[in-house]
Structure 1
Amino acid sequence: MTILEGRSLLTTIEYGDEGERRRGVERLAEMAEDERAAAVAHVTSSTAERLADAALEVGGEAGLTVCRTTVLAAESYVDFPAIVERLVQLDHPDAVDVALEAYCRGDAEERATIARLLAGQLTPSLADALEAAAADPGWLSRKRHGRRLRKRFRSGTDVTRRAAALGLGALGTERSVRTLANALEDEDAVADALAGLSIAPPGLTAVPLARACRNPDIARAASETLVTAVDRLEFDVLLEDSDGHQLVDAMVAVEDSAVRARLVHAVHEGVAADVYRDREDVFETLVAAGDLPDPTAREESAQMLAFTGRAAAVDALLERFDDPDPDARAAAVEAASKVGVDIGLEYASLLESATAHSHRTAAAYGAIEETTAALPAVRERLLVDDHPAVRRAAATALGNMGDDRAVRALVWALETDPSHEVRRDVARALGRIAHPAAVPPLRRALADPEGYARSGAATAIGNPAFDHPELLVDLLCDHDDPNVRSSIAYSLAQHSPDEALDPLRTALETEPDDGVRSSIVRALGDLGEPARPAIRTALKDPSDRVAEVAAEILEKLE
């Protein structure tokens, strides 16, 4: 069964009757573990909840298998305590194990709730340790309890070792993580150590877990825990230097396709691009990742190839334009346009740098040339691909390229594509290219029946590169759609105060919609000090909303 078929089963489970839900869960449970996880990953919160509910309704081995996958693969969208409340009612020996997986992935409040729900299912020592670890960080911070946890973990029974591992993970010190990491070499303690590492601070656990991924005996379990750790990193925190190289080295070294797919995700999400962009072995690994069974890995490896800045990356991405998964295909299409663009951002500084960097300068130039050569293939995706996500990516890619040769295809798509989201992105691409021939079709698109498309056209036609401020003034005064008028106000503010101030001030006095007036006030704020008197008049606007925006903008101008 393919991943796409698995995603189709999710629709059946979400919307089918009782019999269809049962059959869907049973068929999903029959899938290979990695394919099932890929099918469940990135579902919406409502789908995740219904999937967990359906799995628990079915119960038995199949239900628990699907429930566990939901907990692991869709953890961002799952109500862990609600699942555990249902799990403790099931008469199945593995139910508590799935509940403990949920415990490991919940936040502090969820773990405290789950610990209380599990109290009747566990031995007193395990229940007490779980609740203490979740509900009272101070309990863990006392040295005597830290020593007790380490001693219990090293020498306790199976039950007490799991409790101690979770306690050490919640403690989250370098010493407690080192204790858990050392235990990965002990076959009997691996599962408990991974459970503890899964809730420890991800910045401390990523490197030991990456090392563990190179051990074939525990690689799959370790890579699952590594993904959990990396996904918990702060948004703006990336691993650099030696820590980043440890993850990258593991991604290059492993041979198991499922483990490599998870390591691709870990590097994509958790490692700064500067760590790997110049490494030849990484480039070869990312190219080969186009053959991985996991579509998410193919998608993420395509995005990473864009950061390498190599002309050869474009060739590798072009080969993925027929990927059977639309998200992976879309990623390849958009990434092909970014290889030259991203490295091109460094191009000017490279030209001015020392001759030691001349090979990087040559690579940048070659990547830009190769990206331009990819234009026909990207344009074809826009015109013929059957999936809107891919056509949207192609439109964005053509806008990134900024090549006038794309204008005709973009205009055709703007006027004929059945998806309003595609038409919106096509309009934005035309705005980035800013060819004069795009102005008439963009004006027509302002009458599109769908608001998304009208909004994209309004943003596009407002590009100052078109140099038609008088057109923007007419649209600001006369267009029927308030959202279009708001977009035009912001666009007009990108022109000089001499061109924009008077039209915006007049529109503020005559605009009937308070939402648009708020946008006009913000646009005036973008003009800075010359607009202060006009903004001050908005303090007396009959709408509190507009007056509050005016006060906020004036405060920023002080």
Structure 2
Amino acid sequence: MKRIFLNAICALLLCCSPALAEQVQSTNEPAKTVDELVKAFSSAEYFWQQGDVARELVALGDAKIVPRIEKHLDTQDRRRRCNAALVLAGLGDKRGLAIIIAELEDKKPRPTDRIGSDGRPYPEGQIRSDRYYAALLLGQLGKKEAVPVLIKATKDKTINYQAAISLGKIGEKSAIPALRKMAKDFPDERLWAGYGLAALGEPEGFDMLTEVIISDSRWTERRHAVRALGDIGHPKALPTVVKALKDKHVNVRVSAARALGAIGDSAALPALIEALNDTEVTKVNAPTTVEKEVRKAIEAIKANRK
């Protein structure tokens, strides 16, 4: 069940950068006013939509909105509470970070409408989901004060994959020993420990991700590893990601093209040009072709050279 959950949100995990205010991508839509965003935050149907609005509010940098957001700290929905705390923390209110850290550490039972595969209430899944979300937000905030609690979470098999990702995004090298131990103690999560280590510049992390891409029989794991290397964006990953352009699964090849575009190294252009003949359509997720994503990658690399 955890793997299904992880696959569903992997794109979100790997697109988040430590500098929260830089996460809101520009669009052609007119900028929303503070009042419009606060209203959207309060009325969001889903917690993840509210989280998107929270990041927009942080990007505005207006601490005057804190009194209008802090009332949401009283909600019983843990993830919505963390969204409010995210706004506070992003605007310099220390209460926000403390609330998210406390949520990560909280394993107590709580009300839930989550139902397990047996048709019964599934409180364990709710606890894991709430704690996972807290770990995710700590990585987005990029505050070094969160490192100790995230290091502790690398020992918890229910959420250590997200703790490793967040530690990599924060960039604090004191996490390296814990990530190495996680890779050893939790072989099923070695990919994510490798992500954290690679994000911190450790060669062994790149080796772990390369091993997954080359050797793992599960295409979903290979895709995760390719996306991770694209997210890290280090030129050291280039040879491995280029090889992934020839992976037997089309979704891995699509991810490889996107990763090469994100890395932005012109050394990838010959391999990308060769892949323009690959017109296979993805088997899952939104339909696209390798050729389409390769063209986007080529454009991104050429734009990066200007």
TM bracket, shorter-chain basis = 0.5 to 0.7
Are positions 1:444 and 2:243 aligned together? yes
Instruction: Give how far 1:319 is off.
Output: 0.6
Partner of 1:448: helix, strand, or coil? Answer: coil
Mapping for residues 23-38 of structure 1, pairs under 5 Å: none
Are positions 1:412 and 2:211 aligned together? yes
Q: Could you tell me how far apart the structure 1 residues matched to 2:135 and 2:164 are?
A: 9
The amino acid across from 1:372 in the alignment is K
The question of whether the paired residues in 2 share the 8 Å contact of 1:395 and 1:422 is answered with no
Give the counterpart of 2:174 among 366, 370, 373. 373
1:299 to 1:285, Cα distance in 2 relative to 1, 3 A = same
Q: Deviations over 1:178-231 (max 9, x none)?
A: xxxxxxxxxxxxxxxxxxxxxxxx95997xxxxxxxxxxxxxxxxxxxxxx764
Instruction: Give how far 1:320 is off.
Output: 0.9
1:304 to 1:446, Cα distance in 2 relative to 1, 3 A = closer
1:307 to 1:473, Cα distance in 2 relative to 1, 3 A = closer
The residue that corresponds to 1:471 in the other structure is 271
Are positions 1:298 and 2:131 aligned together? yes
The question of whether the paired residues in 2 share the 8 Å contact of 1:381 and 1:391 is answered with yes
Give the counterpart of 1:243 among 51, 68, 71. 68
Partner of 1:494: helix, strand, or coil? Answer: helix
1:379 to 1:454, Cα distance in 2 relative to 1, 3 A = farther
The residue that corresponds to 1:459 in the other structure is 258
Give the counterpart of 1:435 among 226, 235, 247. 235
Are positions 1:492 and 2:306 aligned together? no
Instruction: Give how far 1:456 is off.
Output: 2.2
1:484 to 1:377, Cα distance in 2 relative to 1, 3 A = farther
The question of whether the paired residues in 2 share the 8 Å contact of 1:399 and 1:428 is answered with no
Q: Could you tell me how far apart the structure 1 residues matched to 2:273 and 2:151 are?
A: 43
The residue that corresponds to 2:88 in the other structure is 275
Instruction: Give how far 1:472 is off.
Output: 2.5
Give the counterpart of 1:312 among 135, 140, 145. 145
The amino acid across from 1:316 in the alignment is V
The question of whether the paired residues in 2 share the 8 Å contact of 1:265 and 1:300 is answered with yes
Q: Could you tell me how far apart the structure 1 residues matched to 2:226 and 2:177 are?
A: 19
The question of whether the paired residues in 2 share the 8 Å contact of 1:435 and 1:466 is answered with no
Structure 1 residue runs without a partner (length 5+): 8-40, 45-201, 207-228, 252-258, 341-367, 500-526, 528-558
The question of whether the paired residues in 2 share the 8 Å contact of 1:407 and 1:435 is answered with no
Mapping for residues 89-104 of structure 1, pairs under 5 Å: none
Partner of 1:467: helix, strand, or coil? Answer: helix
The residue that corresponds to 1:265 in the other structure is 79
1:488 to 1:426, Cα distance in 2 relative to 1, 3 A = same
Are positions 1:332 and 2:163 aligned together? yes
Q: Select the structure that is richer in helix.
A: 1
The amino acid across from 2:205 in the alignment is A
Bigger radius of gyration among the two: 1
Q: Could you tell me how far apart the structure 2 residues matched to 1:439 and 1:335 are?
A: 23
1:237 to 1:443, Cα distance in 2 relative to 1, 3 A = closer
1:400 to 1:440, Cα distance in 2 relative to 1, 3 A = closer
Identity %: 19
Q: Could you tell me how far apart the structure 2 residues matched to 1:265 and 1:461 are?
A: 33
Q: TM-score, normalised by structure 1?
A: 0.35
The question of whether the paired residues in 2 share the 8 Å contact of 1:396 and 1:425 is answered with no
Q: How many aligned positions are there? A: 233
Q: Could you tell me how far apart the structure 1 residues matched to 2:228 and 2:40 are?
A: 42
Cα-Cα RMSD: 4.1
1:300 to 1:475, Cα distance in 2 relative to 1, 3 A = closer
Partner of 2:153: helix, strand, or coil? Answer: coil
Q: Whose RCO is larger (CA < 8 A, sep 6+)?
A: 2
1:231 to 1:423, Cα distance in 2 relative to 1, 3 A = same
Q: Deviations over 1:65-108 (max 9, x none)?
A: xxxxxxxxxxxxxxxxxxxxxxxxxxxxxxxxxxxxxxxxxxxx
1:450 to 1:242, Cα distance in 2 relative to 1, 3 A = same
1:404 to 1:395, Cα distance in 2 relative to 1, 3 A = closer
1:304 to 1:456, Cα distance in 2 relative to 1, 3 A = closer
Q: Could you tell me how far apart the structure 1 residues matched to 2:146 and 2:196 are?
A: 15
The residue that corresponds to 1:226 in the other structure is none
Q: Could you tell me how far apart the structure 2 residues matched to 1:310 and 1:480 are?
A: 43
Q: Deviations over 1:40-89 (max 9, x none)?
A: x99x9xxxxxxxxxxxxxxxxxxxxxxxxxxxxxxxxxxxxxxxxxxxxx
The question of whether the paired residues in 2 share the 8 Å contact of 1:314 and 1:374 is answered with yes
The amino acid across from 1:333 in the alignment is A
Instruction: Give how far 1:481 is off.
Output: 4.8
The amino acid across from 2:215 in the alignment is T
Q: TM-score, normalised by structure 2?
A: 0.59
The question of whether the paired residues in 1 share the 8 Å contact of 2:82 and 2:134 is answered with yes
The question of whether the paired residues in 2 share the 8 Å contact of 1:378 and 1:398 is answered with yes
Partner of 1:334: helix, strand, or coil? Answer: helix
Instruction: Give how far 1:246 is off.
Output: 2.6
The amino acid across from 1:283 in the alignment is L
The question of whether the paired residues in 1 share the 8 Å contact of 2:184 and 2:190 is answered with yes
Mapping for residues 165-180 of structure 1, pairs under 5 Å: none
